[in-house]
Structure 1
Amino acid sequence: MPKSRRNRPHPRPQRRREPAHLNRQISGTEEQALFESIRRGLRADAPGELLMLVSGMLALHDPRVVAPDRSPDDVAAARASFVTSFIDLTDAETTAALTVMRVLLPDDAADLVAAVDTELRTRRHPMPAWLPTLAQARVVGDVWKLVEDTRDGDDYVIPLVLPTGEPLTTVVYVDHNMGGLVKDAFALDAPLDDVLDAMRTNLAPSQTLAPTDAAEARAVVDDANRLSLSTYPQVESETWPLSRPFVEWVLTLLPDGGRAPELREWTPAELESLEGEFFASSFGQELGSDATARGMPRLLFELVSSYTGGDPLRWSAVNVEILLAQLVPSRVMVPDDVLAVVPDLLRAIIPFAHARRGVAAQSTVEALESVDEFEPVYRELVGSEYRSEVLAALRDLADPEGVLLDELAALVGGREALDTLDDEPLPDEPFAWDGIPDDVHERVGEMLALCDDVADRLLDVEHQTAMRRFLARVAAADPAIFRRRASVERGAAAVAWAVCRANDTVGPYHGLEAGELIEAFGTGGSVSQRAQPLLKALGVNPYAAPSWRGGYGLGSADLLVSERRRALMDERDMLTGEGEGVDDW
């Protein structure tokens, strides 16, 4: 894993000295250690230690985490068993832990929350004054954001205050070099002003600390958290993902309705133009006469924008490391003499890009030092057997074992469906009411009208038909979903989100953001949890990660629009040797 940011000006949570143990025997070494940790949290002068401890317990039993060896249902059952074990033990330690769990348990654990709430009504153990009031915590003051000019990542600083007066400042780090996911997050038992003062003391010239829009901060961190959940293996730090349940609770205290800034997608023509500007500049003029260098700046711009944050002009010490030690050796299939010019190209591209973006001189120095540091590693990798093996694997996309074809077939309902896939546009067809009970017709009709309206305004007839088919099948398969008291708008948004997700329609590179789609239904926030029962009704795993070539599966080709099916046909033909094969990288 590449190095994290070199300067982290915010204070870190300190480990507290352990007090003397209580004279109480608990069976099992692990149980003993756990209860001792809870006691330390109860005896602490501030809430942070106990909150982080319980958050870590719940994070280890999170059924949303994508992993091939973890069934979401099994993990959910293990979580229920774990929480129940605390209900079964009646003492101060379990009362304290349950009080925090009642606040930090996610929406998909409503039954557990109810069970915990029922049990706590019977408990009479004395607790710190702040603990029973935890659910009434509020964000007081501005949310702040620490930004670096090379944008390796951003820190969001969120000030909480409990009703009893205890401050609790949360810091969340979103790492752009890893695609914009959460990499670090923790709570500090300190007021916002103290945290900001400590950060300012260590602030580098390349860093800016300023208030930011709270609703936008919530949207950014929420997106970054969901990306973390779907990443395998999980990105881990000293505090993450153990602090995830706590951070998710903190986000609910921020205003909703914000939108994360959209990533700009650079077109091939724009990247080619940028390469022309580079060679015409004083930084690249000398290199422009070298025929082997032609085309490589454009490729480097594309790599850095595609894999480390969406900006071809963003060059830092860390993404230089990623490029030299990972991306170019493993992904670029060009002759060795072309690869040889990459370090010298970077030494010219970095000051060119930094001059365009107005980056501090020290950041330029650090990025160039990273080129020097990783050039030996790069040259060893591009001349190694490892590279030869990787390139051979990339060239050989025949997939003799059929694994990739099976993954592709799962998106459309099987190998036969994949073999016979076509790209005929979906017709404009009426909604199918067959098999849908009369008592849910009104609720289904309301959702249908909303889906039709949004498809007319933002999408097209094919998406409208796909949404109608999806909604009709769910209503026939599990009508109980539509008998529950729930927002019609969020239900309809969940239908549209599931269909657009399967068709690879929403996202920063598709012209329609998920937030924009959901807002079109008159609601906001994430609807992924609302979509889970809809997907389960169709036999689809709602926790599945996206396929290896983008998009998610609904297991049925007739829920996919023609453009999506055409893309899947191209992938099929490439894997079976009927397509044109891979291009330059």
Structure 2
Amino acid sequence: MSDKRRADRAKQARRDVRRAKRRTAGTSTDTELTDAIRSALAGGHPLNLLSMASMVIHVGKPDRRRDETHLDNILTGLIGVRNRETTALLAVTAELLVDDPAQQLRCRREVAERGEHLPRWITALPQVDVYRAVRRTHVFRDVDEVVIGMRLDRGHELTVAIRIDHNMLSTVTDAAAVPEPIDEALAKVAETSTDTDIFEMTLADARVWTEDALNMPTLSPKTDEWPLYRALVRWLVGRLPEGGEHRSPPGDWKSGKELCDGFFATSSAAPFTGSSHRELLLELFETGTGDPLRWSAARVEQAIGGTPHSEYSIPLEVALDAPDLLRAFIPYAHAQSGIRDELTARTLAMVESLRTSYKREVLRHAKYWGLDDVV
């Protein structure tokens, strides 16, 4: 759901918030800040000011750390500029401060005291109409994108997409927002997307999936867009109904064991005769998404691209077979899940590219821990 406008909006929002920060240090940029907010309001769509408010919160609380002093200083700078533009920004910021009741109340009191006439969509934010949610997912199931459509006051449409990476502990790694209806946003993405499925979700399920992902630790690098939309996403989640179902695990031990039985009965598994090979394969199933039937290049890189973490009960000579075992198993698994040959070939190319470095790392790791004689 990304395009050049998203990147430009992120850069502009960061510049605008930096102006507010500089003001708290004594550098007067009142006119610049006012002009930036006025431009956001004049843009016609609420997303411009929502993005700016979301960035204010991100700068005040980077990485979800509760630095009350930092946020307090930024809000003090905004409160010190008494005009309609900063009143509008404070009002929207207050709406998005869902995890900080004290600062939220402070902003709301300041807005009420000023008595400014604000655009109706701002005062109507608590009544936003969230009307549809879908899940976009690639056939590898590495990533789910929860896409939510909403309607603000006066018919302003907004679509927000939240990227959940299951190779990264099912955490949120990115988000995007576009000022258009969800049907149009999905249609545009479909023009350039392949091997992607779309599933309707209940709004309650969209909430619990997103909440679960937001509560997981973030292990992946930040994107430019995620800070811009994090507070907006947290606010949006709170507008969704509760009571949804959590994401189901991709498989269980019993189904994995049955898949192993089927694979080791084929000629492709002939070189791997030891019971430890079965144990190794079951261990590999636990990498990435945990789905034994779907292997992307990204998952393979995670499984054999770094420091090996094999159980010590697996003999060294068997651990060294992991790339070859995957190279034999992945076509079998993809045949079961219907993944086309071209995608399988890309995955196998990753296996081959990591084969030598993996073996070298396993041997280095074994020597370090004195496991050369593991049998």
1:83 lines up with 2:75 in the alignment: yes
Q: Give the share of equivalent positions with the same residue, in percent.
A: 29
1:144 lines up with 2:134 in the alignment: yes
Change (3 A) 1:313 1:330: same
Letter in 1 for 2:41: L
Change (3 A) 1:246 1:279: same
1:278 lines up with 2:270 in the alignment: no
Given candidates 204, 212, 215, the residue that maps to 1:226 is 215
Residues 523-561 of structure 1 deviation map (CA, whole Å, 9 limit, x = unaligned): xxxxxxxxxxxxxxxxxxxxxxxxxxxxxxxxxxxxxxx
- Rounded to whole Å, the distance in 2 between the matches of 1:113 and 1:330 is 46
Task: Report the alpha carbon displacement of residue 151 of structure 1 after superposing the two structures with TM.
Answer: 0.4
1:99 lines up with 2:83 in the alignment: no
Task: Report the alpha carbon displacement of residue 380 of structure 1 after superposing the two structures with TM.
Answer: 4.1
Within 5 Å, which residues of 2 pair with 1:18-57? 28=27, 37-57=36-56
- Rounded to whole Å, the distance in 1 between the matches of 2:280 and 2:28 is 55
Task: Report the alpha carbon displacement of residue 317 of structure 1 after superposing the two structures with TM.
Answer: 1.3
The equivalent of 1:310 in structure 2 is 290
Instruction: Please say if residues 250 and 289 of structure 2, whose CA atoms lie closer than 8 Å, have aligned partners that are also in contact.
Output: no
Residues 553-573 of structure 1 deviation map (CA, whole Å, 9 limit, x = unaligned): xxxxxxxxxxxxxxxxxxxxx
- Rounded to whole Å, the distance in 2 between the matches of 1:339 and 1:112 is 54
Stretches of structure 2 that go unaligned for 5 or more consecutive residues are 17-21
CA RMSD of aligned residues (A): 3.2
Instruction: Please say if residues 134 and 146 of structure 2, whose CA atoms lie closer than 8 Å, have aligned partners that are also in contact.
Output: yes
- Rounded to whole Å, the distance in 2 between the matches of 1:376 and 1:39 is 58
Task: Report the alpha carbon displacement of residue 346 of structure 1 after superposing the two structures with TM.
Answer: 1.0
Residues 239-262 of structure 1 deviation map (CA, whole Å, 9 limit, x = unaligned): 224422110111122221112133
The equivalent of 2:271 in structure 1 is 287
Letter in 1 for 2:105: A
The equivalent of 1:130 in structure 2 is 121
Question: Higher helix proportion, which one?
Answer: 2
- Rounded to whole Å, the distance in 2 between the matches of 1:261 and 1:35 is 44
Given candidates 336, 340, 346, the residue that maps to 2:320 is 340
Within 5 Å, which residues of 2 pair with 1:158-173? 158-173=148-163
1:211 lines up with 2:211 in the alignment: no
The equivalent of 1:186 in structure 2 is 176
Instruction: Please say if residues 87 and 94 of structure 1, whose CA atoms lie closer than 8 Å, have aligned partners that are also in contact.
Output: yes
Change (3 A) 1:30 1:226: farther
Change (3 A) 1:154 1:96: same
The structure whose Rg is larger is: 1
Q: Secondary structure at the match of 2:148?
A: strand
Given candidates 285, 301, 305, the residue that maps to 1:321 is 301
The equivalent of 1:157 in structure 2 is 147
Change (3 A) 1:326 1:117: same
1:367 lines up with 2:357 in the alignment: no
Task: Report the alpha carbon displacement of residue 236 of structure 1 after superposing the two structures with TM.
Answer: 1.6
Change (3 A) 1:303 1:79: farther
The equivalent of 1:245 in structure 2 is 231
The equivalent of 1:449 in structure 2 is none
Instruction: Please say if residues 325 and 381 of structure 1, whose CA atoms lie closer than 8 Å, have aligned partners that are also in contact.
Output: no
Task: Report the alpha carbon displacement of residue 37 of structure 1 after superposing the two structures with TM.
Answer: 4.7
The equivalent of 2:57 in structure 1 is 58
Q: Secondary structure at the match of 2:60?
A: coil
TM-score, with structure 2 as normaliser: 0.83
Change (3 A) 1:121 1:82: same
- Rounded to whole Å, the distance in 1 between the matches of 2:346 and 2:28 is 47
Change (3 A) 1:274 1:135: same
Within 5 Å, which residues of 2 pair with 1:420-431? none
Instruction: Please say if residues 283 and 351 of structure 1, whose CA atoms lie closer than 8 Å, have aligned partners that are also in contact.
Output: no
Change (3 A) 1:270 1:203: closer
Change (3 A) 1:375 1:42: farther
Residues 198-251 of structure 1 deviation map (CA, whole Å, 9 limit, x = unaligned): 1221221x21123222211111011100114xx4x6752222244221101111
Instruction: Please say if residues 330 and 387 of structure 1, whose CA atoms lie closer than 8 Å, have aligned partners that are also in contact.
Output: no
TM-score, with structure 1 as normaliser: 0.55
Instruction: Please say if residues 11 and 199 of structure 1, whose CA atoms lie closer than 8 Å, have aligned partners that are also in contact.
Output: no
Q: Secondary structure at the match of 1:326?
A: coil
Q: Secondary structure at the match of 1:45?
A: coil
Instruction: Please say if residues 331 and 344 of structure 2, whose CA atoms lie closer than 8 Å, have aligned partners that are also in contact.
Output: yes
Residues 46-87 of structure 1 deviation map (CA, whole Å, 9 limit, x = unaligned): 22232122212213434983xxxx6x4xx1343334323322
Number of aligned residues = 359
Stretches of structure 1 that go unaligned for 5 or more consecutive residues are 1-8, 396-583
Given candidates 86, 89, 105, the residue that maps to 1:114 is 105
